Amino acid sequence: MKKKFIITTLAVLFIGAHAIAQTPAKDKEQSNAEIFSAKAGTLMQKEFIEIGTVEKANVKVLYYTDLISNSKTNALKFEMDVVTSYSTDTKAAVLDVDEIDGLMKSIKLMQDKVMITVPTNYTEVYYRSRGGFEAGCFTSKGAWSCYLKLEKFDSKSYVWLKAADLTTLYGLLEQAKAKM
């Protein structure tokens, strides 16, 4: 009887540990605009307005319209094609309208306060949106390197920028805001 109890207990512990080890992968974070556009039971229209390009990333304004309820929202989209030997994959990030000012302010702070000196220790500075988009800089070999990361959990979604590209990006954001 005691042996049967021990075997049953070990079996339950083994199955429980196995189930815990197989936790599902973290879902992709989404902007409010992406959540709006994914609503079920709607007839959704998306209109894409080209703004420009910084390095390999295309910047677009998106207009979402639920044609049934006539509710609308808009957002900013960064998009980049990643070519491998077997296929082409599109990496994308969507920022809500209320996040654009924060990104613009972050770019200015990086240019005007952060990147004017190089610290002796490795340093990272970044802005992150609710959808997982990231824009930032870090020190490498005595200099600052700048980047955009379009998808939070995808190392192939980096767009490497020069410091001058931050000015270009800021200008594209100004143009996008004017169209929203």
Average pLDDT over residues 116-139: 95
Token pair for 25: 């992968």
Q: How far apart are the first and last CA of the chain?
A: 73
Give how far the C-alpha of residue 17 lies from the chain's centroid of Cα atoms, to the nearest Å.
Answer: 33
For residues 5 and 32, the answer to whether their CB atoms sit within 8 Å is no
DSSP secondary structure letter of residue 107:
H
The whole model's pTM is what? 0.80
- What's the mean pLDDT when you consider all of the chain? 88
Q: Are 55 and 73 in contact (CB under 8 A)?
A: no
Say whether domain 32-178 belongs to CATH 3.30.2450: yes
pLDDT, mean of residues 142-157: 94
Q: Mark out the alpha helices in the chain (DSSP H runs).
A: 2-21, 32-37, 97-109, 163-178
- Non-local (6+) Cβ contacts of 166 within 8 A are 107, 110, 111, 146
| pLDDT(11) > 80 | no
**By the 8 A CB rule, do 165 and 135 touch?**
no
Per-domain residue ranges for the chain? 32-178
The rounded distance, in Å, linking the Cα atoms of 56 and 124 is 22
Residue 15: band (very low, low, confident or very high) from pLDDT cuts 50, 70, 90: low
Tens digits of residue pLDDT in 151-165: 999 999 999 999 999
pLDDT digit string, tens, across residues 18-29: 544 444 444 568
